[in-house]
Amino acid sequence: MSEESSSTATYRLLVIGDGRGTTECTTAVFNEVKRIETEDADEFLKSGTDFNTDCIRCNNPGTYADAALKIGASLDVPVVIHVNDTRDVVLDGLSEAGCVVAASEFLAQRCIENGADPARVVTVHAAVDRDLFRPDGESINEEPGSPVLLLISEGCSPGDIKSASAACLKATQQHPNLILVVVGDATVVAGQHVRVLPHCTDEELASWLRWADGLLIPSAHVLSAKHASQALACGTPCIAPNHSALQEVLTDGWDAVLFEEPSQLDDAVRRFAEPATYRRLSAPARSSSERFDATAIQRRLDGVYTTLLPHDWPLLSVVLPTYNRAHRLETAIRGVLSQDYPNLELIVVNDGSTDTTAETLNKLETELDDDRLHVITRENGGLPTALNTGFAAAKGEFWTWISDDDTHHPGCLRALARELEIDPDTGLVYADMRIVSEDGRERLFQCGPPERLEQHSTLGLCFMYRASVARQVGEYDPDLFLAEDYDYWLRMRKQTTLRWLPRVLFTYADAMDSLTRTRFRAVGDMRLRLLEREFGQRADWSQMKFDHFLHFASLAKQNGAIGASLHNAWGAIRSRPTSGGGWRAMMRALTPRPVLRLTRRLRGMKDD
């Protein structure tokens, strides 16, 4: 198909399955829509049709996915599979879809676990009826507890409900007036602190949510994000697991209290039950639900379909700085050029290398004969200066950079660019990554939402941003070597919206040599200074500093930088001598990693 302008082209959509989404797609993206319900692709193809479709939407994939994929392959058009139920995530055909649209992040992660390409899975949350779920509507006329927690049993297991009830019972020792209201089947719980509502309409649920002080979500499930977004729309904060299915919806310490492990539910309920906590969280909760407005959700879905249709992708500039790593260059360059993003330029900046980098680059330019590859050679000036040199020559609308020992997964650049294309208000998008140590051990680095930037001190290494925003932010600071990226993200956050894409799309080769371990302490100290520059005047600066020390103590331990781990653990102790967190960090720093891993496994916790 020719790359026609989306504003003048005529596009047609074939919907296989029920008619969900037909009207919206007709008015927003497609000029014509035809709906069929057939499980026999051969019969449809033999019958012939004068409807020349540009895209296929498959609803009810459990019934129609095979037919949709076969028709799509025959007509050479993309197939979008809509997954709205856990029964749909086990389909063999998910890996063949042009795009999988999941109704929640929980479903998205299940699709990926069952073979769907992470770069082709997009979450489009179910919209919240904000006329019904709003903070200023009528609430239940009941005697209030202190606090009142609501639990929606739909999607929860009996064990989840029992655990939640037990956690609330423990919390009544400090908060005797605490009440747990369970909506739905709750025959497994009993107690004076529990009230059960066997049935509840949406109108009644909205009233109960407005009356409650918090929504308790004991586990991540297919409906947990929907329930959380309904609560936020009513101005009600949440207690929930720190799971990727909920991290896009809830932010710890902002509109929710999140817990890492099931064993920490008791503590989460106890912390939330403090009046100062749930009252502080309720105000941000009201603004957090705006992104689940029906108009915003439909705009996102429209964007997904638009990116699948023929159109001119913006030019992407990829900068690859290198210094004395000639042996890695060929793999790095071929890796970028093999990405399926259709419109990119690769700018390699040779930062004054003294090995055979120049000869290697000359050889690759001749062998590849690819006009997307550009080489700049300059005197050694360090990473920030090399990046500034590369981006000064960049012509793209989107920018990113990569080190010569890291790897974009297939489809990574297209997936990142798609998010920028879908949402014009997003200036930077970043994704999760896999970290591989020199001995082959792997671990996942989950970046988390932008609100955790001050806690994690990084957005990871897999990102893409708009050149227009970068020009407002300015250059990377040459005086902040080892922390230039963190400084840049902090400055960028003031200029634009950051978006987290919870997909593993990148591999970072963790070569922790002795020099790198020595620098780990310097990196932590420099990032602490940047944190103080940005947030030192905030009322919660003491807590932020304490959290920074704990985070870097853990991060340094994971990377074998024992000295840096001890240094940061001691910083946490000095910051808050009476807190157990700093002392636990010190013990962890002194304990051999094999012992730590064994201890976590015995406690039923995941390896870090």
The model's pLDDT over 308-337, given as tens digits with 9 standing for 90+, comes to 998 899 999 999 999 999 999 999 999 999
**Per residue in 349-372, pLDDT tens?**
999 999 999 999 999 999 999 999
442 close to 436: Cβ distance less than 8 angstroms: yes
What's the pLDDT at 26?
Answer: 57
Indicate whether 363 and 471 sit together in one domain: yes
* Residue 402 backbone dihedrals phi, psi, to 5 degrees: -145, 145
* Residue 102 backbone dihedrals phi, psi, to 5 degrees: -100, 140
CA pair distance 268, 266, nearest whole angstrom: 5
- 10 Å CB burial of residue 478 (0-12, 13-18, 19+) is middle
Q: Which residue has the tokens 């059960």?
A: 196
Confidence of residue 517 (pLDDT cuts 50, 70, 90): low
What's the pLDDT at 54?
Answer: 94
Confidence of residue 1 (pLDDT cuts 50, 70, 90): very low
Average pLDDT of the segment spanning 512-539: 78
With 50 as the cut, is the pLDDT of residue 447 above it?
yes
Number of domains in the chain: 4
Average pLDDT of the segment spanning 473-488: 92
Q: Which residue has the tokens 């990829």?
A: 318
**Per residue in 124-174, pLDDT tens?**
988 899 889 988 888 877 766 679 999 999 999 999 999 999 999 999 999
What's the pLDDT at 136?
Answer: 86
Average pLDDT of the segment spanning 276-283: 82
- Domain-terminating residue out of 488, 511, 534: 511
Residue bearing the bigger pLDDT, 373 or 447? 373
What's the pLDDT at 522?
Answer: 86
CA pair distance 396, 383, nearest whole angstrom: 21
Indicate whether 468 and 580 sit together in one domain: no
What's the pLDDT at 3?
Answer: 46
Indicate whether 360 and 449 sit together in one domain: yes
- Domain-terminating residue out of 511, 546, 567: 511
CA pair distance 428, 473, nearest whole angstrom: 12
What's the CATH code of the domain at 436?
A: 3.90.550.10
Distances (CA, A) of 408 to 304, 411, 419: 22, 8, 16
What's the CATH code of the domain at 237?
A: 3.40.50.2000
Q: Which residues pair with 435 in a beta bridge?
A: 443, 508
Query: What's the DSSP call for residue 213?
Result: S
Indicate whether 200 and 53 sit together in one domain: no
Indicate whether 431 and 573 sit together in one domain: no
Residue 493 makes CB contacts below 8 A (sequence gap 6+) with 450, 453
Residue bearing the bigger pLDDT, 292 or 369? 369
Residue 594 makes CB contacts below 8 A (sequence gap 6+) with none
Asked whether residue 133 is domain-assigned, the answer is no
Residue 262 makes CB contacts below 8 A (sequence gap 6+) with 163, 218, 219, 241
Question: What b/e readout covers 108-124, taking b as 16+ CB neighbours within 10 angstroms?
Answer: bbbbbeeebbbbbbbbb
Asked whether residue 52 is domain-assigned, the answer is yes
Indicate whether 404 and 433 sit together in one domain: yes
**Would you call 231 helix, strand, or coil by DSSP?**
helix
With 50 as the cut, is the pLDDT of residue 563 above it?
yes
- Domain-terminating residue out of 125, 159, 176: 125
With 70 as the cut, is the pLDDT of residue 512 above it?
no
Q: Which two tokens stand for residue 328?
A: 């890695």
What's the pLDDT at 515?
Answer: 46
Q: Which residues pair with 12 in a beta bridge?
A: 32
Residue bearing the bigger pLDDT, 592 or 393? 393
Asked whether residue 245 is domain-assigned, the answer is yes
Query: What's the DSSP call for residue 252?
Result: B
Confidence of residue 19 (pLDDT cuts 50, 70, 90): low
Asked whether residue 4 is domain-assigned, the answer is no
CA pair distance 511, 335, nearest whole angstrom: 19
What's the pLDDT at 437?
Answer: 79
**Per residue in 181-205, pLDDT tens?**
999 877 766 678 888 888 889 999 9
Determine which of 61-70, 119-128, 229-238, 590-599 has the lowest per-residue pLDDT on average. Answer: 590-599
What's the pLDDT at 2?
Answer: 41
Indicate whether 321 and 228 sit together in one domain: no
* Residue 116 backbone dihedrals phi, psi, to 5 degrees: -70, 145
Indicate whether 109 and 254 sit together in one domain: no
55 sits in which H/E element: strand 55-58
Indicate whether 331 and 463 sit together in one domain: yes
147 cis-preceded (ω within 30 degrees of 0): yes
Share of the chain above pLDDT 90, in %: 58
Confidence of residue 438 (pLDDT cuts 50, 70, 90): confident
Indicate whether 272 and 340 sit together in one domain: no
Residue 115 makes CB contacts below 8 A (sequence gap 6+) with 92, 94, 95
Indicate whether 442 and 569 sit together in one domain: no
Q: Which domain holds residue 102?
A: 12-125
Asked whether residue 301 is domain-assigned, the answer is no
With 60 as the cut, is the pLDDT of residue 604 above it?
no
315 close to 344: Cβ distance less than 8 angstroms: yes
Asked whether residue 607 is domain-assigned, the answer is no
Asked whether residue 232 is domain-assigned, the answer is yes
Beta strands in 381-496 (DSSP E): 398-401, 407-408, 426-437, 442-445, 462-466
Average pLDDT of the segment spanning 402-431: 95
What's the pLDDT at 126?
Answer: 84
Q: Which residues pair with 316 in a beta bridge?
A: 344, 398
CA pair distance 464, 119, nearest whole angstrom: 14
What's the pLDDT at 280?
Answer: 84
- 10 Å CB burial of residue 265 (0-12, 13-18, 19+) is buried
Indicate whether 180 and 75 sit together in one domain: no
Asked whether the whole model's pTM tops 0.95, one would answer no
437 close to 508: Cβ distance less than 8 angstroms: no
| Pairing verdict, β 214-216 and 238-241 | parallel
Asked whether residue 132 is domain-assigned, the answer is no
Ordered DSSP codes for 137-188: S----S---SSEEEEE-TT--HHHHHHHHHHHHHHTTT-TT-EEEEES--TT
Residue 445: Cβ within 10 Å count? 20
Distances (CA, A) of 360 to 190, 371, 576: 72, 17, 53
Q: Which residue has the tokens 């070569």?
A: 511
